[in-house]
């Protein structure tokens, strides 16, 4: 018999130090007991852990259920993505090929728009709290590709994914073939919008993408009564203003058109959800040269621009007034 004080650490809760007693037969534990006074704490800890496991599995299954190959699957799958994957995600495809949160989200977006399907063939919980799944990715006109993937969690979300060595080459091929359905304009545009995730420094992260994605002669129409804006206004005024209050932009729809691209973007400004705005652009020589609201969306587009700029003006005025009062 051995008695020990064991510290248990669960996410988002205080540590529990509990007395455990273990009984042996030979060199193997045949029974374990919790000290009588610690029973309630131990049972509460097990219940919390069980609820976390159930929530993780529920979110994971809902996400893969959404990847059904339908025309609208991205409307279901993309909003679920941040409920399943941690922002610090590192998804290890091979030793040399790792996907970040943004990388994997881009792949999933193309996956959805290309009519691909992903199914969970099996799912099990491991003793260390991770999960191992057998995933079948089915691309158009292909029989499917099985890959074994193990997921490690932080704060209830997948923070590290590993594709088994036996599946790595096949899964890497799937990722490459999915990417081949996309083109550079859409990849860059998603990366550009992805910079504005509510964290500081968004406009600086976006600046090199702006230089590559948008033409130097870019013309932006923000509203019927407004003069067209140029690349300098967009890069040096609007983007920093959007970043200043750590506002958030997210893509809900994005696709290529005969003349360029069209998208639906949701904007959250100073914590207020302004809803979505449909927008479109013309691409020439591989760069966006013209941008405007989609027909019928002009007022919403102008309102969004006004909110972004007016919010920053109001903040600067308040800061100036506060300085005067202090003086």
CATH topology of domain 184-326: Nuclear Transport Factor 2; Chain: A, (3.10.450)
Could you tell me if 246 and 199 are in contact, meaning their C-beta atoms sit under 8 angstroms apart? yes
Q: Is the dihedral of CA 22, 24, 30, 31 positive or negative?
A: negative
pLDDT band at 274 (very low <50, low <70, confident <90, very high): very high
Mean pLDDT of 299-315: 79
Measured CA to CA, the distance from residue 232 to residue 218 in angstroms comes to: 9
Split at pLDDT 50, 70, 90, the class of 127 is confident
Taking the C-alpha atoms of residue 219 and residue 289, their distance in angstroms, rounded to an integer, is 6
Q: Do the two domains 63-179 and 184-326 of this chain adopt the same fold?
A: yes
Whole-number average pLDDT of the chain? 85
Q: How far is CA 224 from CA 125, 221, 298, in A?
A: 57, 8, 7
Q: What is the DSSP letter of 188?
A: H
Q: Is CATH 1.25.40.80 the classification given to domain 63-179?
A: no
Residue ranges per structural domain of the chain: 2-50, 63-179, 184-326
How do residues 8-44 score in pLDDT, each as one tens digit?
A: 665 555 666 667 677 788 888 888 777 766 667 666 6
β pairing state of 214-221 and 287-293:
parallel
**Segment among 9-18, 130-139, 165-174, 277-286 with least mean pLDDT:** 9-18
Residue 152 has pLDDT above 70, yes or no: yes
């Amino acid at each position: 018999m051995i008695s020990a004080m064991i510290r248990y650490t669960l996410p988002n809760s205080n540590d529990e130090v509990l007395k455990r007693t273990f009984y042996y037969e030979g060199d193997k534990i045949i029974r374990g007991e919790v000290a009588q006074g610690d029973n309630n704490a131990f049972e509460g800890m097990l219940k919390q852990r069980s609820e976390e496991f159930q929530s993780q599995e529920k979110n994971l299954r809902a996400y893969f259920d959404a990847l059904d190959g339908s025309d609208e699957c991205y409307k279901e799958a993309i909003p679920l993505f941040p409920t399943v994957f941690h922002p610090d995600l590192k998804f290890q495809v091979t030793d040399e090929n790792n996907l970040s949160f943004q990388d994997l989200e881009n792949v999933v977006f193309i996956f959805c728009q290309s009519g691909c399907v992903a199914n969970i063939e099996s799912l099990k919980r491991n003793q260390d709290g991770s999960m191992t799944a057998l995933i079948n990715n089915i691309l158009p006109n292909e029989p499917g590709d099985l890959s074994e993937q193990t997921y490690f969690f932080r704060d209830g979300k997948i923070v590290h994914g590993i594709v088994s060595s036996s599946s790595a080459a096949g899964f890497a091929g799937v990722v490459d073939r999915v990417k081949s359905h996309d083109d550079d304009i859409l990849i860059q545009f998603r990366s550009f919008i992805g910079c504005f995730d509510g964290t500081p420094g968004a406009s600086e992260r976006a600046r090199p993408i702006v230089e590559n994605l948008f033409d130097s002669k870019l013309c932006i129409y923000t509203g019927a009564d407004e003069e067209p804006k140029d690349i300098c206004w967009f890069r040096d005024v609007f983007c920093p203003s959007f970043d200043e209050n750590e506002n958030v932009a997210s893509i809900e729809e994005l696709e290529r058109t005969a003349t360029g691209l069209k998208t639906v973007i949701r904007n959250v400004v100073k914590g207020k959800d302004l809803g979505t705005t449909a927008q479109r652009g013309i691409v020439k020589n591989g760069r966006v040269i013209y941008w405007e609201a989609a027909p019928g969306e002009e007022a919403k587009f102008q309102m969004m621009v006004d909110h972004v700029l007016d919010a920053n003006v109001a903040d600067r005025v308040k800061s100036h007034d506060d300085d005067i009062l202090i003086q």
